[in-house]
Structure 1
Amino acid sequence: MEGKYFDEATVSVLQEIILHRRDVRGNRFLPTPLEDAVIDQLLMAALNAPSVGFSQPWEFVLIRDQAVKQQVRNSFHEENAKALPQFSEEKQPEYIRLKLEGIMEAPLNIAVFYKPSDKPVLGQTAMPEAGLYSVVCAVQNMWLMARALNIGVGWVSILDAEKVKRILHAPSDNKLVAYLCVGYTNGFYTQPELEILQWEKRKMKEAVVFKEGYY
């Protein structure tokens, strides 16, 4: 059966969405609740991500309760304090100034889990980590849909995954892949914030693309 083909205008819109996707910090979120229909659009995008062996190994926990979010934020503060000494003395003052999460400010948090299969998965027998990569694809789909809807997403990775699992009563074999802060925002940066702050420089294509091997 013939699949759908897209025109140049659609390609241009997708390119714009990709180029303008941003990680949104807590100081940019608005308290406006997300409508159920909008959340369904985000989840639809995630559920239609590619997955190895059509395994669809993802599960999503929607979190609005402030008490639950505060428990997760406590884990962030603990891990953030551990992270600071790992950076150079020059970087530490900059690190302290960064607003690295929006757990309480975002009206919705989404915890994204990988649920391993209890049977062999086609395409995952040699590279079992491909299941995790499938879940990351779902996160990216959700993020791009959010940007198309002018909704901010922030990925919080400075967390103790096992503590978050306990807070959310996740099954023991599930693995936390992403903890997302989601909500309307007062605006998007024209460039990634860490690029603007010169925390890191953008890598050019010539530095990361090789032909026929690492030659």
Structure 2
Amino acid sequence: MPSDAAASGFSEPECKAVYRAIFERRDMRHFAGGSVAPEVMRRLLTAAHHAPSVGFMQPWRFVRISDAAVRADLHALVEQERVKTAQALGERQDAFMRLKVEGMRDAAELWAVALADGREAHVFGRRTLPQMDLASAACAIQNLWLAARAEGLGVGWVSLFDPSAVAALLHMPAGAEPIALLCIGPVHAFYEEPMLQKERWAKRCALDDLLFENAWGQALGSEAGAPSGTSTVHTP
């Protein structure tokens, strides 16, 4: 008889679809205009709203930017920060300025994601780690991102902005904090690899370099890292 855990697992095609969405998700910067049907956008937001959150605090708030003038103002704020970021990069300034870092003018939808005001009232899971509100909201964004990839839509997370300026522009209450401008919509094609890797700005780290056992820097599966009385685990 299969175990309860096995019985509750997805079928092989369903599992492959989940992993495909994970591995083919891209931070998109090139969009094809068009539109996103309201019912599809609702599905993406529902997926976001079903993310886990510490203490079930649900700190995420989403603001749709449908006014062209507001979108233009947000784009101007991003451009200001793009220049400041380039200046802060020193010798990599010119290389950074050649990168396309946002698709706000071409994406079908633009949504601001913010942490809600009043978050300090949520202590469960945050007394020593107050940043778990941000971690929870990031989970919501990832849910939306994976759902969008499954729907054939691109998403680009823009974080080049002054949070206080965006909060003021969108009339957010005191205590609310914008963390993302999400460009969402049809794309001509998904990147075969992360754009910044393709542009040789950075590359994905080797997984084994990020895995430790029992102590920081102790390689996973090493004899020194394995607890007494246990066998060594070798990862492929």
Asked whether the two chains share a fold, i.e. TM above 0.5, the reply is: yes
8 Å CA contact 2:27–2:194 kept in 1: the answer is: yes
TM-score for both structures, normalised by structure 1: 0.93
Aligned residue for 1:111, secondary structure, equals strand
8 Å CA contact 1:55–1:121 kept in 2: the answer is: no
Q: How does 1:1-215 map to 2 (within 5 A)?
A: 4-25=8-29, 28-89=30-91, 91-115=92-116, 116-117=118-119, 119-214=121-216, 215=218
CA distance in 1, matches of 2:140, 2:169: 23
Unpaired runs of 5+ residues, structure 1, are none
8 Å CA contact 1:30–1:183 kept in 2: the answer is: yes
8 Å CA contact 1:61–1:111 kept in 2: the answer is: yes
Instruction: After TM superposition, give the deviation of residue 159 of structure 1 in Å.
Output: 0.6
8 Å CA contact 1:154–1:181 kept in 2: the answer is: yes
8 Å CA contact 2:119–2:133 kept in 1: the answer is: no
| Count of residues in Structure 1 that have an aligned counterpart in Structure 2 | 211
Aligned residue for 1:179, secondary structure, equals strand
Aligned residue for 2:26, secondary structure, equals coil
The alignment-based identity, stated in percent, is: 36
Computing the radius of gyration over CA atoms, which structure comes out larger, 1 or 2? 2
Residue 228 of structure 2: aligned partner? none
Instruction: After TM superposition, give the deviation of residue 7 of structure 1 in Å.
Output: 2.1
RMSD, aligned α-carbons: 1.6
Deviations along 1:96-128, one digit per CA (max 9) or x if unpaired, are 211111112112111111114363432222211
**Which has the higher relative contact order, 1 or 2, with Cα contacts under 8 A spaced 6 or more apart?**
1
Aligned residue for 1:42, secondary structure, equals helix
8 Å CA contact 2:155–2:184 kept in 1: the answer is: yes
Structure 1, 68-77 or 3-12: larger mean CA deviation:
3-12
8 Å CA contact 2:55–2:122 kept in 1: the answer is: no
Aligned residue for 1:190, secondary structure, equals coil
Instruction: After TM superposition, give the deviation of residue 80 of structure 1 in Å.
Output: 1.0
Which amino acid counterpart does residue 204 of structure 1 have in structure 2?
A: A
CA distance in 2, matches of 1:13, 1:120: 35
CA distance in 2, matches of 1:93, 1:63: 31
Which amino acid counterpart does residue 186 of structure 2 have in structure 1?
A: Y
Aligned residue for 1:64, secondary structure, equals coil
Runs of 4+ in 1 over 6 A off after TM superposition: none
Deviations along 1:57-82, one digit per CA (max 9) or x if unpaired, are 11100112110011111111111111
TM-score for both structures, normalised by structure 2: 0.85
Unpaired runs of 5+ residues, structure 2, are 219-236
CA distance in 2, matches of 1:92, 1:121: 41
8 Å CA contact 1:79–1:158 kept in 2: the answer is: yes
CA distance in 2, matches of 1:105, 1:95: 21
Which amino acid counterpart does residue 24 of structure 1 have in structure 2?
A: M
CA distance in 2, matches of 1:140, 1:22: 11
